[in-house]
């Protein structure tokens, strides 16, 4: 992953080491990729994270010679399968206490999804022998949630750990939070940032902020 973990946690959707190191780290742990095959007996909660890692390597190898919109489209399905973006957004924004209109919610979710994917694409933009590992063993997180333990192993330097908090909803496992080094919650970082923007300018201010970030990340090639 060429994503700076602290950057990813700060931005989305969704971690100040080098920016590229962050997205790299947001990846995964003992089913090594490149080109890993899906093991027969891995738990269901591991599968979408392994798939995200696999897709990240694909866009990394495609690199900047492939257009940003193309890489965005290549990665989007894996992000949708791995991350519960509606839940993450709900927790970050606090939709129960300040419910938006259906139109506002649709607009905000669309911008948040595009921002999440664009953040990955912008940071995972080259390959230099990076490796991801996804641990096949799950850790109980309570209330039916499971933690998928992952590591990013760069060509040089120390590996970084990323844990995905997985929840099963309607038969599908998706991440509802991402923990950097086992402690830094991406959901908590988003909650702090998003609620500050909402308190200052409301839902439209948050949508506008996300759209600006999408444009910056994609060089103006992606709009939500």
The answer to whether residue 121 scores a pLDDT higher than 80 is yes
Give the pLDDT band of residue 22 (cuts 50, 70, 90): very low
What pLDDT was estimated at residue 161?
Answer: 87
Provide mean pLDDT across the span 53-58: 91
Q: Which two tokens stand for residue 216?
A: 């910056």
Higher pLDDT, 180 or 39: 180
What pLDDT was estimated at residue 30?
Answer: 35
pLDDT, one tens digit per residue, over 135-152 is 999 999 999 999 999 887
What pLDDT was estimated at residue 97?
Answer: 64
- Residue 153 φ/ψ, nearest 5 degrees: -115, 105
The answer to whether residue 164 scores a pLDDT higher than 90 is yes
132 and 32 in contact (C-beta within 8 Å)?
A: yes
Give the pLDDT band of residue 8 (cuts 50, 70, 90): low
What pLDDT was estimated at residue 222?
Answer: 94
Q: What is the mean pLDDT of the chain?
A: 82
What pLDDT was estimated at residue 131?
Answer: 82
What pLDDT was estimated at residue 165?
Answer: 97
What pLDDT was estimated at residue 42?
Answer: 85
Provide mean pLDDT across the span 123-145: 90
**What is d(CA 219, CA 98) in angstroms, rounded to the nearest whole number?**
33
Higher pLDDT, 13 or 89: 89
Provide mean pLDDT across the span 168-197: 91
Provide mean pLDDT across the span 5-26: 40
Which of 201, 10, 174, 13 has its CA nearest to residue 109?
Answer: 13
What pLDDT was estimated at residue 33?
Answer: 36
pLDDT, one tens digit per residue, over 212-224 is 999 999 999 998 7
pTM: 0.81
**What is d(CA 155, CA 128) in angstroms, rounded to the nearest whole number?**
7
Cross-sheet strand order for the sheet of 184-185: 131-142, 145-153, 160-169, 172-180, 184-185
The answer to whether residue 183 scores a pLDDT higher than 70 is yes
Domain assignments of the chain as residue spans, ordered by start = 5-213
Q: In the CATH hierarchy, which fold is given to the domain comprising 5-213?
A: Nuclear Transport Factor 2; Chain: A, (3.10.450)
The answer to whether residue 14 scores a pLDDT higher than 80 is no
The answer to whether residue 34 scores a pLDDT higher than 50 is no
What pLDDT was estimated at residue 132?
Answer: 87
């Amino acid at each position: 992953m060429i994503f700076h973990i602290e950057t990813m946690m700060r931005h989305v959707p969704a971690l100040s080491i080098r920016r590229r190191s962050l997205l790299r780290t947001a990846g995964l742990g003992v089913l090594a990729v490149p080109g890993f095959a899906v093991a027969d007996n891995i738990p269901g909660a591991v599968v979408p994270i392994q798939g995200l890692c696999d897709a990240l390597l694909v866009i990394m190898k495609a690199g900047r010679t492939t257009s940003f919109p193309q890489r965005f489209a290549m990665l989007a399905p894996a992000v949708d399968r791995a991350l519960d973006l509606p839940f993450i957004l709900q927790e970050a924004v606090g939709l129960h206490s300040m419910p938006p209109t259906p139109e506002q919610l649709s607009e905000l979710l669309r911008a948040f999804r595009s921002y999440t994917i664009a953040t990955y694409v912008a940071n995972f933009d080259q390959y230099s022998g990076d490796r991801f590992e996804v641990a096949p063993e799950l850790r109980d997180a309570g209330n039916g949630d499971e933690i998928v333990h992952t590591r990013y192993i760069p060509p040089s330097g120390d590996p970084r750990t990323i844990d995905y908090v997985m929840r099963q909803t309607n038969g599908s496992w998706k991440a509802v939070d991402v923990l950097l080094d086992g402690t830094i919650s991406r959901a908590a970082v988003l909650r702090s940032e998003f609620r500050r923007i909402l308190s200052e300018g409301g839902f439209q201010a948050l949508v506008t902020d996300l759209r600006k970030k999408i444009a910056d990340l994609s060089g103006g090639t992606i709009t939500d």
